[in-house]
A = this chain, B = another copy of it.
């Protein structure tokens, strides 16, 4: 079958690879009908996440179940499904507490040997282990490109808000309006945030946030701190989502947040960085971090997308064929696209 493989930094290729086979009683094989290109794929493309040349990449996917193992009970052949970007064993100490994202045996699609040696989903078919936990049926009437978001980007936007303690009526800020930040804006509104201050430097992204009901502020041309003060009687926001993953974003988040508030850092951090602990301490802040527990959130996210409370449609800027993957990656790398959906 055809699949998008990593070859070298800045080089992906569409090539023939073997079709997947059921290996375990909990496995499913899914025929991929739509698969996204995501910011995490770009880390691989840039060579920052090291994976084996020839490894199939991609981890956002919608498709039809072709086969299931004997121990799969919640989906069956012929079901139209979407899946999560990572698997979980369902039994380890962390899974038993519902922290599927930190499962001791989790595997991430399309991230090479280091993250579980699980071939990616930018291909004609994919093997999905522990299918009962990882897959969900696509609700009737939901398009492929919407469903695609449940297992990664929208799940992350939901996580940023739902796991932060935001209460309806609160004021939130979102730093960084890439797909995750924009989904977080939607999720904040859908959780009842009275105001959402959305901060970025790209006019198109600010405009989209505004169309989602946010108060959009240009990071440098506007004055985020003044806007937040004005929106909160001077207190600061109840919740600030850092969807950037950069020390300057974290610093701004700490400054924008009110006493006893929460900074939710869903943006990726990989290294040491400076933090103004004096401010964190005097403000009595709570700083939460880490990637999203998408397996725990996929049900409510699907329900909300099905009800129209969350709608990623405007984020999908490009549809391309699987064979066009090299061009898709190059275009995404040039920041000319928000979300590219590949169709095998």
Contacts and interface: CB of A to CB of B under 8 A. Distances in A.
Contacts of A10: none
B190 A168 contact: yes
A162 interface: yes
B195 A307 contact: yes
Interface string A16-32: 00000000010000000
A336 interface: no
A182 B323 CA distance: 53
Interface in A244-278: 245, 247, 250, 259-260, 265, 268-278
Contacts of A268: 281
Oligomer copy total: 4
Interface stretch (A116-124, A201-209, A219-227, A297-305): A297-305
Interface stretch (A34-42, A49-57, A282-290): A282-290
Interface string A168-198: 1111000000000000000100111011000
Given A133-B91, A168-B300, A169-B304, A272 B277 contact: yes
A74 interface: yes
A102 interface: yes
B299 A289 contact: no
Given A102-B284, A195-B307, A169 B301 contact: yes
Nearest to A91: B132
A108 to B, nearest CB: 13
Interface residues of A, number: 73
Contact of A168 (B74, B98, B304): B304
A276 to B, nearest CB: 5
A281 B270 CA distance: 7
A166 to B, nearest CB: 10
B277 A269 contact: yes
Contacts of A247: 277
A76 interface: no
Contacts of A285: 288-290
Contacts of A275: 272-275, 277
B300 A290 contact: no
A1 to B, nearest CB: 28
A245 B277 CA distance: 9
A235 interface: yes
A177 to B, nearest CB: 20
A7 interface: no
Contacts of A288: 284-287
A111 interface: no
B271 A274 contact: no
Nearest to A300: B169
A280 interface: yes
A24 B275 CA distance: 42
A99 B192 contact: no
B91 A74 contact: yes
B265 A270 contact: no
Contacts of A281: 245, 265, 268-270, 289-291
19 contacts: A93-B299, A96-B133, A97-B260, A99-B284, A158-B168, A162-B167, A192-B304, A194-B309, A195-B307, A265-B277, A270-B278, A270-B282, A271-B277, A272-B278, A274-B274, A275-B277, A281-B290, A284-B288, A287-B287
